[in-house]
Chains A and B, each alone.
Chain A
Amino acid sequence: MSGSETAAPPPIRRIWVWAPLVLFAAFGALAAFMLTQPKDEFVHSQMIGKPLPEFALRAASDSRPGVSIDHFRDGTPKLLNVWASWCLPCIAEAPQLEELRASGVEIVGIAIRDRPQDVANFLSRYGNPYSRIGADDLSAVQLELGSSGVPETFVIDGNGIIRHQHIGDIRASDVPTLLEKLAEAR
């Protein structure tokens, strides 16, 4: 290229001159494509297929007893609902939890950073589909589960193994999926 005697570079070279531009266009296309893809903002639990931690939580209110690991080892699959009285989407999922309970599912609650009077108030306003509610004041059990917010719902099989995680409030369209996962865990 520097020599003035070589008027035309060999043809192979001329093709390679375009390589950086093609590479740049490829990166541009990839970036444009990725911008159109929806972003998954959820941090999914890595504990699926693993056992629940050893834990025992005191009752979150007078209406229901507390929860320990032993309650998940009685052979029947259950839902473990991580919620809180201060959580707005938990209000939105209350009818769906009631529907699940009505179809024979046992729902165990864990209330995060909650006071007994707030829990009682929430249950009296939005219903109480729980068989037990444990109080997790330090989010300790929540962290053990790999859960990163409220509400989240886990399917636990009869041996205390975590089978499925549902992140966010349960919509009406999520109920069949949860029933299916509970049946699979049987």
Chain B
Amino acid sequence: MTMRRLVACMLAFLAAPLIAQNAVPPAPYAYTQLADPAQEAEATALMQTLRCLKCQSQSIADSDAPMAGDMRHQVRARIEAGQSPEEIRAWLVERYGDYVSYQPEVSATTWPLFATPALLIALALLVLARRLGRKRSDSQEAGAA
């Protein structure tokens, strides 16, 4: 098993078969902007918030992976056909889950991420208010004495 992995890694460095995935020309809208600048702006904004599934820390706008090109084609073709960016995002999330979208959403699993900072700030303000309040009354007592 390890041997096979090693051989696969070495073959990957040669990468001849990987070039072959670019033997087919890129999808029509992978590297071509939409004619309407307003539609293209909508498409670009959406593409920057969609995850490339091959290279998971890049958006499909950033990635040159062929699959990212195919996803850009889907986004632009669907925008051109009149779909809204959020419809297209929902279409992808339905297939790949929340992970495909970089846009933070408040949901049953993510609400603590939004609630915790608010709670901590409230707690800090409370502690601060009590400390400051006590200090003031202390200094008043000291002045009275």
Q: Please give the distance in Å from A83's CB to the nearest CB on chain B.
A: 12
Q: Assess whether A88 is in contact with B66, with CB atoms less than 8 Å apart.
A: no
Q: Which residue of A lies closest to B66 (CB)?
A: A113
Q: Assess whether A113 is in contact with B95, with CB atoms less than 8 Å apart.
A: no
Question: Is A107 on the interface with B (CB-CB < 8 A)?
Answer: no
Q: Please give the distance in Å from B5's CB to the nearest CB on chain A.
A: 10
Could you give, for residues 112-128 of chain A, a 1 whenever the CB lies within 8 Å of some chain B CB and a 0 otherwise? 11110010000000000
Given A46-B97, A88-B8, residue A2 in contact with residue B17 (CB < 8 A): no
Given A2, A86, A146, which contacts B20 in the complex, CB threshold below 8 Å?
A86
Q: Assess whether B95 is in contact with A47, with CB atoms less than 8 Å apart.
A: yes
Q: Please give the distance in Å from A115's CB to the nearest CB on chain B.
A: 5
Q: Assess whether B96 is in contact with A148, with CB atoms less than 8 Å apart.
A: yes
Cβ contacts under 8 Å, A146 to chain B: 95-96
> How far is it, in angstroms, between the C-alpha of A3 and the C-alpha of B141 when the chains are bound?
11
SS class, residues of chain A in contact with chain B: loop
Of the listed stretches A28-36, A134-142, A175-183, chain B binds: A134-142
> How far is it, in angstroms, between the C-alpha of A115 and the C-alpha of B20 when the chains are bound?
9
Q: Assess whether B97 is in contact with A138, with CB atoms less than 8 Å apart.
A: no
User: How many of A's residues come within 8 Å of B, CB to CB?
Assistant: 31
Q: Assess whether B56 is in contact with A86, with CB atoms less than 8 Å apart.
A: no
Q: Assess whether A2 is in contact with B96, with CB atoms less than 8 Å apart.
A: no
Within 8 A of B (CB), among A40-94: 41, 43-47, 84-89, 92
Within 8 A of A (CB), among B14-34: 17-21, 23-24, 27
User: How many of B's residues come within 8 Å of A, CB to CB?
Assistant: 32
Q: Please give the distance in Å from A24's CB to the nearest CB on chain B.
A: 14
Question: Is A22 on the interface with B (CB-CB < 8 A)?
Answer: no
Q: List 30 A-B contacts (CB under 8 A).
A: A41-B56, A43-B99, A43-B100, A44-B97, A46-B93, A47-B94, A87-B17, A88-B11, A88-B12, A89-B8, A113-B23, A114-B23, A118-B20, A137-B24, A137-B27, A138-B27, A138-B70, A138-B74, A139-B66, A139-B67, A142-B70, A143-B70, A143-B74, A143-B92, A144-B95, A146-B95, A148-B53, A148-B54, A148-B67, A149-B67
Question: Is A133 on the interface with B (CB-CB < 8 A)?
Answer: no
Cβ contacts under 8 Å, B93 to chain A: 46
Cβ contacts under 8 Å, A84 to chain B: 21
Q: Which residue of B lies closest to A44 (CB)?
A: B97
Question: Is A145 on the interface with B (CB-CB < 8 A)?
Answer: yes
Q: Please give the distance in Å from A37's CB to the nearest CB on chain B.
A: 17
Q: Assess whether A92 is in contact with B53, with CB atoms less than 8 Å apart.
A: no
> How far is it, in angstroms, between the C-alpha of A3 and the C-alpha of B145 when the chains are bound?
14
Most buried by B among A86, A87, A144: A86
Cβ contacts under 8 Å, A86 to chain B: 17-21, 23
